[in-house]
Structure 1
């Protein structure tokens, strides 16, 4: 079995069509078919159902798909590690980031990172926390910036800061003032993320501490969409304060600090245990600390609880 055959196999699996896969990898369609057939003969099982012009993975193909993807990802990681050892700041860094944190923290980090590593390709994916964890476990990410603690012992973590949530309301709603108790939520129609999001679970836990259930009238996955709906008067929401302060420019939303209890959670870095993290990954984490300090120094509301690097 050759590595090129695995790359060809993954291309066909991705495109579900031999012709499109051949075009994507710059190989003739007959040559691609011959390589896939040779791979199937070596493994002793068909990898694709041939369905006219379309193909679909067989059970054997689905098994090989996961192993092939991890194997090629490990190989790419090994190449990056060797390049960094040799002082060549090339290769790539793939990072999953919470959607809210991605909005206000990552742009200045990426700009500085680019100056430090001009020849390295960085991929940033805005994702829910659980998706970041899963992609780390699947070896699809080098690093994650997610909610802590994580659920898997296979991940190692390092806290960056404690993020405080706040209540956000329409500009036209009756003002609640600058502070409100968590119990106030019982009387408000809320626009929240779905129940499978960690942020939603944390909100429900905080409500349970004061004996109430959030009155959820709308569920949405995108935080920017939630704020837009709230701005149009459809309800109130609870989101990270740093994100809200950044996104609220020009929207005139009510921002209310919650207490009794103060809803907050830890945000930090996660990576797969025993996975090599080179100088570029460590530089990215250091730049996140620096950018967070800059954000704290230039805003007019209480600083988040950052953690020393």
Structure 2
């Protein structure tokens, strides 16, 4: 088995098409097909089902994919360790970040990181907290920004900051005060994330403390979609305050502080305990902490780094 065969296999699995995969790895389609055929003969089973122009992984292919991906990541890491020993600042860093945190933190963080490490290939994936954890455990991510507490025995966490949740309502919804008790949520229609999302579980836990059963009228997985639904009058929602304030300009919304109790959760960095953390990962973690401190001391920075508002059609 050769390394190029594994790389070709991964390309076909990603593109689900031999022609596009061949273009991606810069070989002819016949050459790529020969290599995949040789790999299948060596393993004694088909790795792909050919469905016309589309190819999909067989059960054996899915199992092989898990280990092949891990092997390639280990090789990347080995190269990075050697390059660091030689004093080079090259390689790749793959980060998973909470979708809400990604909105206001990642832009200034990436800017600072690339100034220090212009030759590091950085990938940032905006994900749900559970997906970040799964990415770390499967070795697809080098470092994650996720919700805490996290007690998995294979992961080490570093607290980053505490994120306060706020009530967000349409500008036209009558709410008597700029502050509201958690008990007041009982009378409001709410748009929340699905029940298997960590943020939803936290909201329900805070509601339970106040003896409130939330009236959920709509569930959506996208925080941006939730805000759009709220702006259009579907109901109110509960989202991280920093995220909401980074999205407020251009949206017809009002933000109300919640108290008794004030809902909040911890956000932190996570990584595999037994995995080597290279110089790039160490520096990314340090820059992440200082960038977050700056954002908390000057919330206006989060507004300056917000993405442009997209239309409903673009979503």
Fold equivalence (TM over 0.5)? yes
In the alignment, the residues of structure 1 paired with residue 49 and residue 86 of structure 2 have an alpha-carbon distance, to the nearest angstrom, of 44
**Offset from partner CA, 1:177-214 (integer Å, 9 cap, x none):** 12211111110011111111100000011111122211
In the alignment, the residues of structure 1 paired with residue 219 and residue 297 of structure 2 have an alpha-carbon distance, to the nearest angstrom, of 34
In the alignment, the residues of structure 2 paired with residue 229 and residue 52 of structure 1 have an alpha-carbon distance, to the nearest angstrom, of 40
Moved more, 203-212 or 249-258: 249-258
Distance 1:251 1:195, change over 3 A: same
Runs of 4 or more above 3 Å deviation: 50-54
Name the count of aligned residue pairs.
300
In the alignment, the residues of structure 2 paired with residue 19 and residue 171 of structure 1 have an alpha-carbon distance, to the nearest angstrom, of 52
Moved more, 82-91 or 105-114: 82-91
Give, in angstroms, the shift of residue 16 of structure 1: 2.5
Contact 1:133 1:144 in 2 (8 A): yes
In the alignment, the residues of structure 2 paired with residue 134 and residue 63 of structure 1 have an alpha-carbon distance, to the nearest angstrom, of 16
Are 1:218 and 2:218 an aligned pair?
yes
Give, in angstroms, the shift of residue 143 of structure 1: 0.5
Are 1:182 and 2:182 an aligned pair?
yes
Contact 1:175 1:254 in 2 (8 A): no
Q: Taking structure 1 as the reference length, what is the TM-score of the superposition?
A: 0.92
Distance 1:201 1:284, change over 3 A: same
Are 1:131 and 2:131 an aligned pair?
yes
In the alignment, the residues of structure 2 paired with residue 159 and residue 176 of structure 1 have an alpha-carbon distance, to the nearest angstrom, of 36
Structure 1 unaligned blocks of 5 or more: 301-309
Give, in angstroms, the shift of residue 58 of structure 1: 2.5
Paired position in structure 1 for 2:99: 99
Moved more, 50-59 or 37-46: 50-59
Paired position in structure 2 for 1:306: none
Distance 1:253 1:53, change over 3 A: closer
Structure 2 unaligned blocks of 5 or more: 301-315
Moved more, 220-229 or 256-265: 220-229
In the alignment, the residues of structure 1 paired with residue 13 and residue 288 of structure 2 have an alpha-carbon distance, to the nearest angstrom, of 37
Q: How does 1:147-162 map to 2 (within 5 A)?
A: 147-150=147-150, 152-162=152-162
**Offset from partner CA, 1:3-44 (integer Å, 9 cap, x none):** 111111112222233333222212122222222222222222
Distance 1:47 1:224, change over 3 A: closer
Paired position in structure 1 for 2:82: 82
Paired position in structure 2 for 1:209: 209
Paired position in structure 1 for 2:249: 249
Are 1:263 and 2:269 an aligned pair?
no
**RMSD between aligned residues:** 1.7
